């Protein structure tokens, strides 16, 4: 089955594979581009972004390509300045309500991503899927309030509790932006839209149901209306799977800690994407194949897109990736 057929709920002998963060620093040809261009320069230059998008599919024969960008880049359309070092940094984090209420959608979000999608689609073989994406509002809010990555996101969680109304204002603005952004991507050649809720796991189920689910639903409905297949990914989210089931989508991405059998029970009718531990790629070949087989066997009853449980690590050996792709493609159910 192709990547897109699998998202449409079909299940065949051959399991498609791509890897989260498949464009990136573990790849020599990516590092080579990065010696001459900053990350943001690459993202904002459609020819470079399209090239970075295509590099991993050329080298490994992945079944899908994901557009080279970041969850934070479209936020500039709200007047927010972002730097990368290498993770996102917001020099003026949103800590108080007036800062949040000032946000408004000033421009079309990241038009250069639309151009990069068109360029990538034109160069990709037809059977390879092209994925657009956006960050979930609650995950984007975490970075915006905190000012960057963090272990506990204390400023963010404090604001959510101290002024929940302000948090809802922020989540609404981020949702409006994301709805426009996924529509634009679907209209520019993205056949699937993936929603990254990388910090969903910070919250208990009731909090996630209130602050996460309704906004994610609006974005996924917009992506569906625009004709794209939809993947919802949440990290560290085994305890919010019931809430995730309320988000309209064709596939759910699960991390390596989430039991695939449990995910199957809670998410009937959805394809599953995942969930090999990215650290396994540092093991010997026999171990990689044994662990990959475990994932494949656990998902053999559902439409399955093989992936890692989270992004590939920058030090991952290239041969481990090519070996994994060969193994997954040779596996028959």
Binding site for ligand 1CP (CB under 6 A): 21-25, 34, 39, 66, 68-71, 84, 86-88, 133, 149, 196, 198, 235, 311
Q: How far is the CB of 31 from ligand 1CP (least distance, A)?
A: 8
Residue with CB nearest ligand 1CP? Answer: 149
Q: Minimal distance in Å, beta carbon 43 to ligand 1CP?
A: 8
Tell me how far apart the alpha carbons of residues 55 and 269 are, in angstroms, rounded to a whole number.
33
21 part of the active site: yes
Please list, in sequence order, all residues whose beta carbon lies within 8 angstroms of the beta carbon of residue 294, skipping any fewer than 6 positions away. none
Q: Smallest distance from the beta carbon of 131 to ligand 1CP, in angstroms?
A: 8
Positions of E strands within the chain: 64-66, 83-84, 88-89, 129-135, 192-197, 229-234, 251-253, 271-276, 304-308
CA 26 to chain centroid, in Å, comes to: 18
Angstrom distance (rounded) from CA 133 to CA 185: 8
Q: Is 121 among the catalytic positions?
A: no
DSSP conformational letter for 278: G
Nearer to ligand 1CP, 149 or 214 (CB): 149
Q: Which of 11, 20, 24 is nearest to 233 (CA)?
A: 20
| CA angle, 80 then 217 then 222, to 5° | 75
Interatomic CA distance for residues 300 and 247, integer angstroms: 23
* Rounded-to-integer distance, Cα 295 and Cα 307, Å: 9
Reply yes or no on whether 284 is catalytic. Answer: no
Q: Which residue has the tokens 């020819």?
A: 47
Catalytic residue among 14, 34, 59, 118: 34
Min CB(291)–ligand 1CP separation in Å = 20
> In this structure, are residues 196 and 133 in contact, taking their beta carbons and an 8 Å threshold?
yes
Q: Give the HSE-up count for residue 57: Cα atoms under 13 Å, Cβ half-sphere.
A: 24
* Rounded CA separation 215/62 (Å): 31
Task: Provide, rounded to whole angstroms, the least separation between the CB of residue 144 and ligand 1CP.
Answer: 12
Active-site residue, from 21, 59, 97, 257: 21
Per the annotation, the verdict on 26 as an active-site residue is no
Out of 11, 14, 25, 257, which one is annotated catalytic?
Answer: 25
Q: Choose, from 143, 181, 208, 331, the residue flagged as catalytic.
A: 143
C-beta closer to ligand 1CP: residue 68 or 331: 68
Catalytic residue among 30, 63, 70, 173: 70
Pairwise CA distance, residues 328 & 167, whole Å: 42
Q: In angstroms, what is the minimal distance from the CB of 60 to ligand 1CP?
A: 12
Nearer to ligand 1CP, 140 or 272 (CB): 140
In the residue annotation, 143 being an active-site residue is answered as: yes
Q: What torsion, rounded to 10 degrees, do the Cα atoms 19, 20, 26, 30 define?
A: 100
Shortest Å distance, C-beta 69 to ligand 1CP: 6
Both structure tokens of 321: 């990736």
Residues serving a catalytic function are 21, 25, 34, 70, 143
């Amino acid at each position: 089955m192709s990547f897109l057929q699998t998202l449409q709920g079909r299940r065949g002998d051959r399991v498609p594979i791509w890897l989260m963060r498949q464009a990136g620093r573990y790849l020599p040809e990516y590092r080579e581009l990065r010696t001459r261009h900053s990350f943001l320069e690459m993202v904002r230059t459609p020819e470079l972004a399209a090239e970075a998008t295509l590099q991993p599919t050329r080298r490994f024969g992945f079944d899908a390509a994901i557009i080279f960008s970041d969850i934070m880049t479209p936020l500039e359309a709200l007047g927010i300045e972002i730097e990368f070092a290498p993770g996102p940094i917001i020099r003026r984090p949103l800590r108080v309500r007036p800062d949040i209420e000032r946000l408004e959608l000033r421009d079309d979000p990241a038009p250069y991503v639309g151009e990069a999608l068109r360029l990538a689609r034109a160069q990709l073989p037809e059977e390879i899927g092209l994925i657009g994406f956006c960050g979930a509002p609650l995950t984007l809010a975490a970075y915006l309030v905190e000012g960057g990555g963090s272990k506990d996101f204390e400023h963010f969680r404090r604001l959510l509790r101290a002024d929940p109304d302000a948090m809802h204002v922020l989540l609404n603005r981020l949702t409006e932006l994301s709805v426009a952004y996924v529509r634009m991507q679907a209209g520019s050649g993205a056949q699937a839209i993936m929603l990254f809720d990388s910090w969903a796991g910070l919250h208990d189920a009731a909090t996630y149901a209130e602050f996460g689910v309704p906004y994610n639903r609006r974005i996924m409905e917009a992506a569906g209306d625009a004709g794209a297949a939809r993947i919802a990914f949440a990290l560290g989210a085994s305890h919010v799977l019931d809430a995730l089931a309320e988000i309209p989508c064709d596939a759910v991405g699960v991390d390596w800690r989430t039991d695939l059998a449990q995910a199957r029970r809670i998410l009937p009718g959805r394809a599953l994407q995942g969930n090999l531990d990215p650290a396994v790629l540092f093991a010997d070949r026999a171990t990689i194949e044994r662990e990959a087989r475990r994932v494949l066997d656990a998902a053999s009853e559902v439409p399955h897109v093989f992936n890692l449980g989270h992004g590939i690590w920058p030090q991952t050996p290239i041969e481990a990736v090519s070996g994994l792709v060969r193994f997954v493609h040779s596996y028959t159910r």
